[in-house]
Amino acid sequence: NAGVTQTPKFRILKIGQSMTLQCTQDMNHNYMYWYRQDPGMGLKLIYYSVGAGITDKGEVPNGYNVSRSTTEDFPLRLELAAPSQTSVYFCASSYSLDRLALANEKLFFGSGTQLSVL
Amino acid sequence: DQQVKQNSPSLSVQEGRISILNCDYTNSMFDYFLWYKKYPAEGPTFLISISSIKDKNEDGRFTVFLNKSAKHLSLHIVPSQPGDSAVYFCAASLIRDMRFGAGTRLTVKP
């Protein structure tokens, strides 16, 4: 079982470059999320999606964009990379019948993308 | 603002003894709490959860206690095993908001 797959695992960007972090899940989960984790800090929610075609901002959305055209895929786009976006990025998914609940069900995480912006 | 705090960055215990990981939160409206475990180079994996209407939930060697009046939850691991060595995150959720603590690194020594 693949679960949640993130690519790439590592990436170094120059300031101002753009890139897309890929995330796909094969569990038919309706909810998907992007988190970032900075050193010594907890995970912070960037964006989330409750289903195909529906996305919403989390706690730290500035500098990022997302789309959810299919149930399986939830790519995260960085348009103009900045040093402040150096972080570890985690994609996650969950299944919930409650459209109002963000994650009362457990999250399944990918293994992360280590991004450095220099 | 850190609504979920894990004030101990690290904890070291002997194999076979109890591990107690603590977590404090500030928002009394949180209604669901979860613990995740993370190994190096992997994503966090769900460990155990508790609803705010309960004060204890047990799953094998893992027990989570919730003290709503103190806005405090703890994870007990008994007995601790070397394979439990990992970073443990607590999380608290309310409708469409979930907040994570910074994590506690647990080391279980043989």
Q: Is A89 on the interface with B (CB under 8 A)?
A: no
Tell me what pLDDT residue B76 has: 98
CA-based nearest distance B15→chain A, Å: 26
B43: nearest CB among A44, A90, A103: A90
pLDDT in tens, B72-87: 999 999 999 999 999 9
> Is some CB atom of chain B closer than 8 A to the CB atom of A4?
yes
For residue B84, give the 3-state DSSP assignment. Answer: helix
Residue of B nearest to A31 (CA): B96
A41 in contact with chain B, both atoms CB, cutoff 8 A:
yes
**Angle at the Cα of B32 (from A89 to B39), degrees rounded to 5?**
40
- The structure tokens listed for A96 are 């919930």
pLDDT of B28: 92
Look at the block and give the residue holding tokens 């409206």. B29
Task: With beta carbons less than 8 A apart as the criterion, state whether B33 and B91 touch.
Answer: yes
Q: What is the pLDDT of residue B41?
A: 87
Q: How confident is the model at residue A89 (pLDDT cuts 50, 70, 90)?
A: very high
CB contacts, 8 Å: A4 with chain B = 43
Band of pLDDT at residue B98, cut at 50, 70 and 90: confident
Q: Does A107 touch chain B (CB under 8 A)?
A: yes
For the cut 70, the answer to whether the pLDDT of residue A100 exceeds it is no
CB B107 within 8 A of CB B11: yes
CB nearest to A102's CB, from B44, B95, B103: B95
Which DSSP symbol is given to B68? Answer: T
The single residue listed with the structure tokens 């703890």 is B74
Instruction: List pLDDT tens digits, range A46-59.
Output: 999 989 999 999 98
Mean pLDDT, rounded, of chain B: 94
> What are the E-state strand segments in B2-103?
4-5, 10-14, 19-25, 32-38, 45-51, 56-59, 62-67, 72-77, 86-94, 97-100
Task: Give chain A as a DSSP string.
Answer: ---EEEE-SEEEE-TT--EEEEEEESS--SEEEEEEE-TTS-EEEEEEEEETTEEEE-S--TTEEE--SSSSB--EEESS--GGG-EEEEEEEE--S-TT-SSSSPPEE---EEEEE-
Which residue of B lies nearest to A40 if distances are taken between CA atoms? B102
